[in-house]
């Protein structure tokens, strides 16, 4: 999924930790420490701002390095398979806006190297350049419900969208939370569909984590977390942006 937005967001850097700062270890820190520890084991990490780098360069330069002074980090979703794991987080600032930055990590275990791809909306840091395309499509078996949603969104078919999007669906998009009517209107009619390409699909039984490329101009990559019930999509969290049309 992609939504249209060109937000005017002030440039906000994640705060640096105070020199020599010490803190008590509590549940949030355990989440922070487990994320940092796994990042340090990777062969390479692809960050929306740093690009492909080794763990040391990611720690030095990424805006979402876990110990870069974030007020708290909460893991909100986990999907783990033999090929890849996907961990979803909410990073919270102690001060500055927006207060929350959704971030997702894809841990790719399919090859000889341990690779990580990181997804977030760069507009949260005042950046205006979209994330470049990251992946060529991989082979996967389409779940029927996901394929119907993909067909509806890429065609921009209003009747099909209304048939696959639940009336109470909520989409956490780069422009905020939108309901079913706003979503259907945005991707149908004169506006047409979105030229999406799904590159990886992780999950089953109504819960799917999908890496995708949007071939809108400029092309960009993202990750969507989609939840289905009775064959209809009821919710989505999308990690991409800023998005233009």
Per-residue pLDDT tens over the stretch 72-112? 999 999 999 999 999 999 999 988 889 999 999 999 999 99
The Cα 244–Cα 121 span in angstroms is: 12
**pTM (global) more than 0.85:** yes
Q: Does domain 27-125 have CATH number 3.10.450.50?
A: yes
The Cα 101–Cα 92 span in angstroms is: 6
Is pLDDT above 80 for 6? no
Pairing of strands 232-239, 165-173: parallel
Q: State how far the alpha carbon of 161 is from the alpha carbons of 85, 192, 195, 224, in Å.
A: 29, 12, 15, 17
The Cα 245–Cα 237 span in angstroms is: 20
Give residue 5's pLDDT band: very low, low, confident or very high (50, 70, 90): very low
Q: Which whole number is the average pLDDT over 175-187?
A: 88
**CATH-assigned architecture of domain 144-239:** Roll (3.10)
Predicted local distance difference test score (pLDDT) of residue 191? 62
- Candidate from 14-23, 104-113, 131-140, 171-180 with smallest mean pLDDT: 14-23
The Cα 87–Cα 79 span in angstroms is: 7
Give residue 217's pLDDT band: very low, low, confident or very high (50, 70, 90): confident
Q: Are 16 and 68 in contact (CB under 8 A)?
A: yes
Dihedral, 201, 203, 206, 211 alpha carbons, nearest 10: -30
Mean pLDDT of the chain: 87
Give start-end residues of each CATH 3.10.450.50 domain in the chain. Answer: 27-125, 144-239
Predicted local distance difference test score (pLDDT) of residue 45? 98
């Amino acid at each position: 999924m992609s939504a249209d937005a060109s937000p005017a967001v002030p440039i906000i850097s994640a705060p640096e930790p105070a020199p020599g700062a010490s803190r008590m270890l509590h549940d949030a820190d355990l989440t922070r420490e487990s994320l940092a520890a796994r990042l340090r084991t990777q062969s390479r990490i692809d960050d929306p701002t740093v690009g492909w780098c080794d763990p040391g360069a990611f720690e030095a330069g990424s805006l979402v390095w876990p110990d870069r002074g974030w007020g708290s980090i909460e893991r909100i979703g986990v999907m783990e398979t033999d090929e890849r794991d996907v961990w979803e987080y909410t990073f919270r600032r102690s001060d500055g806006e927006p207060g929350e930055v959704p971030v997702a990590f894809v841990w790719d275990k399919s090859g000889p190297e341990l690779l990580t791809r990181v997804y977030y909306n760069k507009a949260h840091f005042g950046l205006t350049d979209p994330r470049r395309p990251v992946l060529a499509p991989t082979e996967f078996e389409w779940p029927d419900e996901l394929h119907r949603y993909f067909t509806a969104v890429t065609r921009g078919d209003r009747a099909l969208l209304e048939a696959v999007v639940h009336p109470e669906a909520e989409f956490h998009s780069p422009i905020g939370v939108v309901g079913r009517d706003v979503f259907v209107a945005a991707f149908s009619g004169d506006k047409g569909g979105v030229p999406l390409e799904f590159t990886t699909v992780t999950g089953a039984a109504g819960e799917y984590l999908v890496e995708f490329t949007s071939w809108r101009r400029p092309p960009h990559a993202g990750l969507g977390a989609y939840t289905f019930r009775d064959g209809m999509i009821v919710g989505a969290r999308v990690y991409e942006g800023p998005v233009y049309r």
